[in-house]
Amino acid sequence: MTRYDTDTAPTPRASFRAGAIAVSPVLLGIVPFGLVAGVAATEAGLGLAEAVGFSVVVFAGASQLAALELLGTGAPAWVAIMTAAVINLRMAMYSASIGSYMTDQSLPRRLVASYLLTDQAYALSLARYQQQGRTRPEVDRFFFYLGTALVLWMVWQVTTVLGVVVGGAVPDAVPLGFAVPLTFLCLLVPTVTDRPTLAAALVGGGVALAAAPLPANLGMPLGAGAGVLVGYALARRQRP
């Protein structure tokens, strides 16, 4: 596995700092997203405790917004839970990828790393690990990851609380709840990278729209499922 030169072994503190620095430009995008997570809770008729509950316990932006959006329209709990889980399935991919760099870490450390796993912490840490010893100085893998993930976590919690406060203070004439689909739109754009993902989005949106009158907001999971299948079939045909 990793073999550090004893003279230049990276300290946990320096590695943590390197991670915190790496994540800082990304935080600009997290701030409005976190605010919307707070606003979405108030728009769904919930309070500060539930908003913070979502952000601390679930700690996954897109799935939090999706669950709140569904709860706000009166969907049953199981549809909201299922939707949140499906949206977060992508993180199994990250878990496998980052896990291959963390086989030598202790179980408590891997528990912490699991809880804090996000798109951003994953992408930044993986990029750094791949550049290790070539173009960038060595860092302690766990503490670099912790630097990116923990700073992001803190900003997420603070902005969620701010979002609840802001959401309550803005006059009702401003349709602040509209910020939720706008945020989804912003997350959607970079996920469409090729024909299969475009097809997944078009079918997902189309089926969800057509199936919207179904009870229990089943249109959403139905649309998502149909989109995934069509996108997958297309991808298989392109690369057999």
Partner 1 sequence: MSATQTAWVVIVLGGIATFAIRGSFLLVATRLAALPATTRELLRMIPAAALAALVVPALLRTDGDLVLLGPRPLAGVVALGIAWWTRSVLATIAVGLVAVVGFELLLG
Positions in 49-88 near partner 1 (CB under 8 A) = 50, 53-54, 57-60, 62-63, 65-67, 69, 71, 76-77, 80-81, 83-88
Per CB under 8 A, the list member of 10, 12, 48, 90 interacting with partner 1 is 90
Chosen residue from 1, 9, 96, 169 binding partner 1 by CB under 8 A: 96
User: Environment class of residue 217 by beta-carbon count within 10 Å: exposed (0-12), middle (13-18) or buried (19+)?
Assistant: buried
Q: How many other C-beta atoms are found inside a 10 Å radius of the C-beta of residue 111? A: 11
Distance CA 38, CA 21 (A): 26
Closest C-alpha to 83, from 69, 63, 68: 63
Task: Determine which residue in the list 23, 26, 155, 179 makes contact with partner 1, applying CB under 8 A.
Answer: 179
Q: How far apart are CA 48 and CA 176, in angstroms?
A: 17
Of 10 and 205, CB closest to partner 1: 205
* Residue nearer to partner 1 on the CB measure, 65 or 152: 65
* Closest distance of CB 54 from partner 1, Å: 6
Binding-residue pattern over the window 105 to 124 for partner 1, x denoting contact by CB under 8 A: --x--xx-xxx-x-------
| Binding span for partner 1 by CB under 8 A among 9-17, 46-54, 123-131, 161-169 | 46-54
Find the binder of partner 1 among 175, 215, 237, 240 (CB under 8 A): 175
Binders of partner 1 among 3-42, rule CB under 8 A? 28-29, 31-33, 36
SS3 at position 104: coil
> How far apart, in whole angstroms, are the C-alpha atoms of residue 64 and residue 58?
7
Report the Cα 2 to chain-centroid distance in Å.
Answer: 29
How many whole angstroms separate alpha carbon 188 and alpha carbon 208? 15
Least CB distance to partner 1 at residue 6 (A): 26
For position 163 contacting partner 1 by CB under 8 A, the verdict is no
Residue 201 CA to residue 191 CA, distance in Å, equals 9
Q: Which of 14, 27, 48, 91 binds partner 1 (CB under 8 A)?
A: 91
Rounded to whole angstroms, the maximal C-alpha distance in the chain is 66
